[in-house]
Structure 1
Amino acid sequence: MLAIKVICNFCLVLLFVLGGSDAKAGELSERLANFPQWDKLTSVQPASGDLVYPEWMAGDWQVKSTLVDLAAPLAPDIVTPGFEGNRRQLNQPISFLVRFVKQRSPNLNLGLKVFSGIDKKSLILVADRAYNSLNLARAYLGDEAVLSVKTDPDSPNRQITFLRGERQLVSIVTARATETTSDDKFITTEAFQQLFKGGSVPYLNSVESTTAYHKLLTSIPSIEADQVTAVYLSPQDPDYFKAGSQPVALYRYRLEFFSIK
């Protein structure tokens, strides 16, 4: 049961990677508007580096995540494990903490900066991915079930969640795109592979998550977000060719960010 819960419920993704490619104008916005009519996104580029978030996302936030809709486009022929059980999560908010921090840009020329110091223009805003993922995983699975989260020091695109019972969830980002609008909205999408290890048989699937963050004009800094996570079958699945480019499960979340600093 833990294996199924980890794979199928660990869907909420706070995107941690660099938008190395801009999507075609309005493509990601249109994609969210067309839920649940989805196919695999093609205008993404191979993942590289870390995602630079807009300045208005800096700081520490209390996040409330609510599953507001879900769909199984290929049911009843193909349904992912745990999908029906996830209906119990509809309209049941889950809260956790996240933070976005400044770090030196990897493109910085240290030879020129060593004596003059690091100026503000050389800093970028990124997610504290290990902290965020640990809080997220424990919110979904419980404190005792999740031991730790580690990000590969050589690649922000690879992350391992260590679970009780010598189980691991390995997430590897493979592609992404971003879109910025003029109304304080920042949209990201990424595709990644999830491998669950530690059960009798390793379980692999493909996931794509698209999130539109929107800065609200309120006295206390607040952000709302619309997020859709799509689960696709991996090539190892016997129904892979039957599913084609269509997702086998879609989850839509409403995210609310409240500043705590």
Structure 2
Amino acid sequence: MLKNTFTRIIWACCLILLCLFATGEAKAGELSERLANFQRWEKLTSVRPAVGDLVYPEWMEGDWEVKSTLSDLAAPLAPEIVTPGFESNRQYLNQPISFKVRFVKSKVPATALKPIPVMNSKSVKVIADRAFNGLNLARAYLNDAVLSVRVDPKSPNRQITFLRGERQLVSIISGRATETTGDGKFIGTEVFQQIFKGGGRPYFNIVESTTEYYKLDGTNPVSPAIEADQVTAVYLSPQDPNYFSAGSRPVALYRYRLEFFRG
């Protein structure tokens, strides 16, 4: 039961919404090519250290109802190495999951540790309401097993999900890269470490998500205003006994279609 809950937590947290960062542009076409080569990822993409908070484009501001659908999944190293719960996740294929998210304007200096709400300033940027979004996302998959979500007041890149049974999932963002395409799409990659505490020995892994966002017409209220294509890869941490067998390759890949409707 604990292992099944853990894998559902990891899978849910892989859906963290990613987008633009103030610095750290990737080489032209690098992230686009990575998305096009789903199931053929061989290693983590190149990223820069995560400093400050994520900055989203202006058209992301506001309240949204997000519909997320798992459209494909792969275990590149199967049958030798398969992550716990991978096969059970097939039940979610083509099954949309909905949750609310919010993006707000705040003052976000490049080295800020805590956003300070300020208006009428060139430094005002659109950022995610991390605690609100994280709690809604986690509860969409885990229901009342999730007690709360807390973002470290000293760093927006460290988040803790508190679960029943004195368990915690700690997510620490370590690196990011972004890319802007010629047709106005925004692509972001984020790499984060996950530590699951509770019920015995802590479990570690590394997750990489690459997401392409594009703004739609948005005039029809029953149609999405934004769509996104996201690929999430799970890598083993050095603490895993299969780490050296896996090498730099991901052990699980998930592809999602995200649709944003005005809330």
Q: Which residue among 30, 35, 56 is the counterpart of 2:33? A: 30
CA contact (8 A) 2:50 2:176 kept: yes
Moved over 4 A (4+): none
The C-alpha deviation readout for 1:148-171, integer Å capped at 9, x for no partner, is 000001101100000111110000
Q: CA deviation at 1:13?
A: 1.5
RMSD between aligned alpha carbons?
1.8
Q: CA deviation at 1:182?
A: 3.1
Please say if 1:237 is aligned against 2:237: no
Aligned counterparts of 2:43 and 2:60: Cα–Cα separation in 1: 28
Over 3 Å counting, the alpha-carbon distance change for 1:259 and 1:10 in structure 2 is same
- Aligned partner of 1:133 in structure 2 is 134
Instruction: Tell me which moved more, 217-226 or 62-71.
Output: 217-226
- Aligned partner of 1:204 in structure 2 is 204
Q: Which residue among 98, 103, 106 is the counterpart of 1:100? A: 103
Structure 1 runs not aligned, ≥5 long: 109-116
Aligned amino acid, residue 134 of structure 1: L
Aligned counterparts of 1:17 and 1:158: Cα–Cα separation in 2: 18
Please say if 1:45 is aligned against 2:48: yes
Identity of counterpart residues, as a percentage?
A: 71
Q: CA deviation at 1:250?
A: 0.3
Aligned amino acid, residue 40 of structure 1: K
Over 3 Å counting, the alpha-carbon distance change for 1:107 and 1:89 in structure 2 is closer
Over 3 Å counting, the alpha-carbon distance change for 1:89 and 1:19 in structure 2 is farther
- Aligned partner of 2:182 in structure 1 is 182
Over 3 Å counting, the alpha-carbon distance change for 1:75 and 1:9 in structure 2 is farther
Q: Which residue among 229, 235, 243 is the counterpart of 1:226? A: 229
Instruction: Tell me which moved more, 124-133 or 219-228.
Output: 219-228
Q: Normalising by structure 2, report the TM-score.
A: 0.91
CA contact (8 A) 1:211 1:227 kept: yes
Over 3 Å counting, the alpha-carbon distance change for 1:202 and 1:16 in structure 2 is farther
Partner SS, residue 36 of structure 1: coil
Aligned counterparts of 1:107 and 1:238: Cα–Cα separation in 2: 39
CA contact (8 A) 1:80 1:249 kept: yes
CA contact (8 A) 2:218 2:226 kept: no
Question: How many positions carry a matched residue from both structures?
Answer: 252
The C-alpha deviation readout for 1:156-201, integer Å capped at 9, x for no partner, is 1100000111110000001110111232311110111000001222
Aligned amino acid, residue 107 of structure 2: R
Structure 2 runs not aligned, ≥5 long: 112-117
Instruction: Tell me which moved more, 43-52 or 133-142.
Output: 43-52
- Aligned partner of 1:11 in structure 2 is 14
Partner SS, residue 122 of structure 2: helix
Q: Normalising by structure 1, report the TM-score.
A: 0.92
Aligned amino acid, residue 26 of structure 1: G
Aligned counterparts of 2:119 and 2:161: Cα–Cα separation in 1: 33
Q: Which residue among 238, 250, 253 is the counterpart of 1:250? A: 253
Aligned amino acid, residue 216 of structure 2: L
Aligned counterparts of 2:184 and 2:100: Cα–Cα separation in 1: 22
Partner SS, residue 67 of structure 1: strand
Aligned counterparts of 1:135 and 1:15: Cα–Cα separation in 2: 16
Aligned amino acid, residue 223 of structure 1: I
Aligned amino acid, residue 141 of structure 1: L
